[in-house]
Amino acid sequence: MRIVITGGGGFLGQRVARALLARGGLGAKPGGATQMSELVLVDQVMPQGGVSGENVRYATGNIADRSFIKRIFAPQTDAVFHLAAVVSAGAEADFDLGYQVNLDAARLVFEACRAQPRPARLVFTSSVAAFGGELPAVIVDTSAATPQSSYGTQKVIGELLVADYTRKGYVDGRCIRLPTIVVRPGRPNRAASGFMSSIIREPLNGETAICPVPKEAGMWISSPERAVEALVRAMEIPATEWGANRILNVPGITVTVAETLAALEKVAGAQYLARVHFERDPGIEKIVLTWPARFATARANAMGFGADSGIEDVIKLHMRALAQ
């Protein structure tokens, strides 16, 4: 089995690669891994000291380059995690780049999947940014996508393309709308929701964090561990279980900034709270505060997707990873 991860040098890409190596590949059903002949990590920037292994190959380039994508997908590619993206605040700041990478290059990836001798399985990472504006108190499986940002719009168009390519039999696509992933280690990227990681990560690191939204702001979040499990599960679940609907809200937990800080105090100590300063940023608020914080994910729960047990455990997972 040959697997390609676009955005393979990024936060989730590296973690998915590590998970696949640890499990020895992917199964046609959850839990039954088939050996990987090659794992190709595609990115424009590769991390220092990234995941490595006998069957791991790095391919550095721009996914908006048609000939590069064509080369990457030969020979037969069986499974694709399409993770490369210009993230939320980046796509809002640069309209053209957002559409070029999140839509035009995504379409090149879908076309490369379509060109395979056998239809590849494709996992497409969408986001809670698929929703915004006037929302119900709780988003359910049938809630309409109402994006209020360029990033969210690009993700929803991607979902629809994956669904249509799947309907035509060109790919076996699966789209998952991930919650905001907390805690993202290292330096912040251009995700508008990055402050949710910063208010935990920076204080624990002895640094100051700026929170650009009010304490009452709620977010729908997941740990990196649960997000990687969701990505792998989305790929492994048989097509028959997905049925005709290939777009899924995956489980997460609802937390406010205030609850996150209270959990940080409980898990790590009160001294860390003084390192978090509040400076409202209308640009960030305009994106993030339109995203829903409450979901009922009945379909994903029935398909075996799981959530973290609470924000304290999410912080503990991060502290454990730091200690390793």
Annotated active-site positions, please? 151
Tell the smallest beta-carbon distance from residue 44 to ligand NAD (Å): 4
Q: What angle do CA 25, 30, 31 make, to 5 degrees?
A: 60
Taking CB under 6 A as the rule, does residue 232 contact ligand NAD? Answer: no
Which residue is closest to ligand NAD by CB?
10
Q: Tell me 143's DSSP state.
A: P
| 241 contacts 303 by C-beta, under 8 angstroms | yes
What is the Cα–Cα distance from 239 to 234, expressed in whole angstroms? 10
String marking each residue 264-303 x if it binds ligand NAD according to CB under 6 A: ----------------------------------------
Taking CB under 6 A as the rule, does residue 13 contact ligand NAD? Answer: yes
Of 19 and 273, nearer to ligand NAD (C-beta) is 19
Taking CB under 6 A as the rule, does residue 247 contact ligand NAD? Answer: no
Which among 150, 110, 102, 106 is positioned nearest to 130, based on CA atoms? 150
Tell the smallest beta-carbon distance from residue 160 to ligand NAD (Å): 16
**Computed from CA positions of residues 219, 124, 105, 9, in that sequence, does the dihedral angle turn out positive or negative?**
positive
| 69 contacts 110 by C-beta, under 8 angstroms | no
Taking CB under 6 A as the rule, does residue 198 contact ligand NAD? Answer: no
Of 34 and 44, nearer to ligand NAD (C-beta) is 44
Taking CB under 6 A as the rule, does residue 178 contact ligand NAD? Answer: yes
Identify the three-state secondary structure at position 205: coil
* Total residue length of the chain: 324
Tell the smallest beta-carbon distance from residue 260 to ligand NAD (Å): 15
Stretch that binds ligand NAD, among 4-12, 212-220, 247-255, 303-311 (CB under 6 A): 4-12
What is the Cα–Cα distance from 9 to 85, expressed in whole angstroms? 12
Q: What angle do CA 217, 97, 14 make, to 5 degrees?
A: 70
Q: What angle do CA 149, 154, 160 make, to 5 degrees?
A: 125
What is the Cα–Cα distance from 127 to 86, expressed in whole angstroms? 13
Stretch that binds ligand NAD, among 9-17, 209-217, 252-260, 284-292 (CB under 6 A): 9-17
Tell the smallest beta-carbon distance from residue 170 to ligand NAD (Å): 21
Of 85 and 276, nearer to ligand NAD (C-beta) is 85
Stretch that binds ligand NAD, among 174-182, 203-211, 282-290, 306-314 (CB under 6 A): 174-182
What is the Cα–Cα distance from 312 to 207, expressed in whole angstroms? 20
Which among 162, 2, 1, 21 is positioned nearest to 82, based on CA atoms? 162
What is the Cα–Cα distance from 80 to 53, expressed in whole angstroms? 18
Phi, psi of 315 (to 5 degrees): -65, -40
Of 124 and 170, nearer to ligand NAD (C-beta) is 124
String marking each residue 41-80 x if it binds ligand NAD according to CB under 6 A: --xxx----------------xxx----------------
String marking each residue 120-139 x if it binds ligand NAD according to CB under 6 A: -----x-x------------
Binders of ligand NAD in range 81-120 (CB under 6 A): 83-87, 101, 105
Tell the smallest beta-carbon distance from residue 196 to ligand NAD (Å): 9
Q: Which residues contact 201 (CB under 8 A, 6 or more apart)?
A: 183, 184, 185, 209, 318
Site residues, ligand NAD (CB under 6 A): 7, 9-13, 43-45, 62-64, 83-87, 101, 105, 125, 127, 178, 180-181, 189, 191
